[in-house]
Amino acid sequence: MPQNNHGKSLLAIGECMVELASFDHSEELCRLGFAGDTLNALIYAKRWDSSLKCAFYSAIGVDNFSNKVLSFFERHEIDAEYVARSRNRNIGLYSIVIDREGERSFDYWREQSAARSMMSLHQARNTVIKDVDIIFFSGIALSIMSENDKQNLIELVSACKSGGVKIAFDPNYRPAMWSGHDHAKLWFDKAYQLSDIALPGLDDHRAVYGHENVNDIVDHLNSLGCREFVVKAGKQGMLAYVDGVCVCQQPFKPEKQTDTTAAGDSFAGVYLAARLNDKDVATSVAAADAMARQVVQYHGAIVPQESTEKAKNEFKQQCGKGEY
């Protein structure tokens, strides 16, 4: 992987949105924040390993909330070098409603989101990605773009891979963002074919591919040449594979489940942070699982900083190690 002067580096591609979260099963109380699947992962990666250089590739507007998000990036130590600005589009917005079991539903206002035009905005400013070890993107990043920009994103990722950057992909399927299963399948497969690390979910694959079990996913990703992947399989937990062989299975049993928002995002971020630190796959899964266990116990995508320390302590106890 490319070397830089700042230690290891993770670049996430995606969309940052204003988050309105409704708690206490009431629409009368909402908390305002900023979030997005790959951005959430980036924040948790940085929290887990403060030595990582974490940068976000996206676009925002020049509206009030877009200006506020720059302060949000700074507060979380996210490099905004690759965040373009649009003068005629704004930052998107979404709301979350949580049910009594901690499951969530979403509503979106993102048709005029600047992130939908990030590829053309970056092309106009001649953005060059450099000194990156892993690029992480998702099916959501693909889904918000035009067909031409989807292809442009795939070509950008492919060019970076040819330059020695490792590629990580999470399908993170949202049905409303695609014209049908075949549409999503086409672009997911393009992404998987480029991926050194994949983070598929059984629910996503069941919806898109009709895969009924983990073995179906394993066979499919093996056929596409993906060598390392972790399948998030609900009650079965997380199953990690390298070269088609299952190297670990980690059950997922949080003490309590308040809100599942960003559970998968936090898992992705910490897993990638651990792999960048040359931890083996099983150890990386254990670290990511410890973080996700904490995240589901809080409301919202970005939970209190103290949860990271709790996760690290749990991880150390589980692995019997004095230090991470």
Do the bridges between strand 92-98 and strand 245-250 make them parallel or antiparallel, or are there none, so unpaired?
A: unpaired
Catalytic, 265? Answer yes
Host H or E run for residue 315: helix 306-319
Mean pLDDT of 120-142: 97
CATH code of the domain occupying 9-319: 3.40.1190.20
Long-range contacts of 188-191 (CB under 8 A, 24+ apart): 188/139, 189/224, 190/154, 191/137, 191/139, 191/142, 191/154, 191/157
Looking at residue 312, what DSSP letter applies? Answer: H
Active-site option among 37, 259, 265, 289: 265
Q: Look at residue 290 in the predicted model and tell me its pLDDT.
A: 93
Helix residue ranges per DSSP H, 163-213: 181-194, 202-208
Q: What would you report as the CA-atom Rg of the chain, rounded to the nearest whole angstrom?
A: 18
Place 58 in a pLDDT band, splitting at 50, 70 and 90: very high
Top-ranked range on mean pLDDT: pick from 17-26, 139-148, 311-320: 139-148
Distances (CA, A) of 7 to 3, 11, 75, 271, 324: 8, 13, 20, 17, 17
Tokens 């074919």 belong to 193
| Three-state SS at 150 | helix
Give CA–CA dist 83/34, Å, rounded: 15
Domain boundary assignment for the chain:
9-319
Distances (CA, A) of 166 to 131, 186, 189: 12, 21, 17
What are the tens digits of pLDDT across the range 274-297? 999 999 999 999 999 999 988 888
The yes-or-no verdict on residue 5 having pLDDT over 60 is: no
